[in-house]
């Protein structure tokens, strides 16, 4: 009996989730690509599924002897992933995730849920010892000493449907804030989802200020601050 594999998951994503076009046109920003973008983006997704997110670990998956079972078409180095991801346009990925959410709602995925909402909150990604690039913010210990740097993001998720579905993020740098990034994020995703998709937005107390509440009103989303 054939067991589960990344290749089968890729076929499911391309077929049932209708992501075949996205995998082929995922926002490749390289001027002269030698490797197909679909192989690189699927390799990064495969790394997420296997909880091996470092590019060096993804390279090891792509170079494994069982390449066919991963659904990854080509072997490559971690430098290729770095070069590709640095230049990728996030717009196609964002639209693909919105399309999946719309398809899930049309297929009655949330039909047993009394009210679907959006949750906006802060999160972080990555960690390094040096401040390279404009997006990294310092994190400190109890003595306020800088221990390193990481990326800070506002993240939005679909909630109220029995499962939490994160689908977009907005980064913010040292001179920005989670509060401002959360507003930008909400203003971007709410019109794309459509007025009838969600009935409210839930946030923590840090967002319960006038400008965010007014943004929710403008978008037709009552704000629930906990």
pLDDT in tens, 42-71: 999 999 988 988 899 999 988 876 767 788
For position 190, which CATH number holds?
Answer: 3.30.420
Residues 132 and 174 in one domain: yes
Residues 64 and 152 in one domain: no
Q: Is the pLDDT of residue 35 over 60?
A: yes
Q: Is the pLDDT of residue 2 over 70?
A: no
Q: Is the pLDDT of residue 1 over 80?
A: no
**Which of 13-27, 35-49, 88-102, 145-159 is predicted least confidently?**
145-159
Residues 68 and 141 in one domain: no
Q: Residue 188's domain spans which residues?
A: 111-225
Q: What is the pTM of this model?
A: 0.84
What is the number of structural domains in the chain? 2
What's the length of the chain?
Answer: 226
């Amino acid at each position: 009996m054939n067991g589960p594999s990344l290749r089968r998951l890729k076929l499911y994503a391309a077929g049932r989730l209708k992501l075949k076009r996205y995998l082929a046109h995922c926002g490749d920003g390289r001027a002269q690509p030698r490797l197909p973008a679909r192989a690189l983006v699927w390799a990064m997704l495969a790394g997420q599924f296997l909880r091996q997110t470092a590019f060096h670990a993804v390279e090891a998956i792509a170079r494994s002897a069982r390449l066919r079972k991963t659904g990854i078409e080509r072997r490559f180095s971690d430098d290729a992933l770095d070069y590709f991801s640095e230049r990728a346009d996030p717009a196609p990925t964002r639209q693909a995730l919105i399309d999946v959410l719309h398809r899930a709602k049309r297929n009655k995925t949330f039909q047993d849920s009394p009210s679907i909402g959006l949750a906006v909150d802060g999160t972080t990604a990555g960690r390094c010892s040096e401040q390279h690039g404009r997006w990294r913010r310092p994190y400190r210990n109890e003595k306020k000493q800088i221990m390193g740097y990481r990326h800070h993001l506002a993240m939005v998720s679909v909630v109220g449907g029995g499962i939490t579905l994160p689908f977009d993020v907005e980064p913010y740098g040292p001179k920005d804030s989670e509060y401002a990034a959360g507003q930008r994020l909400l203003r971007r995703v709410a019109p794309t989802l459509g007025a009838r998709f969600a009935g409210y937005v839930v946030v923590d107390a840090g967002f319960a200020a006038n400008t965010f509440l007014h943004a929710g009103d403008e978008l037709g989303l009552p704000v629930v601050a906990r």
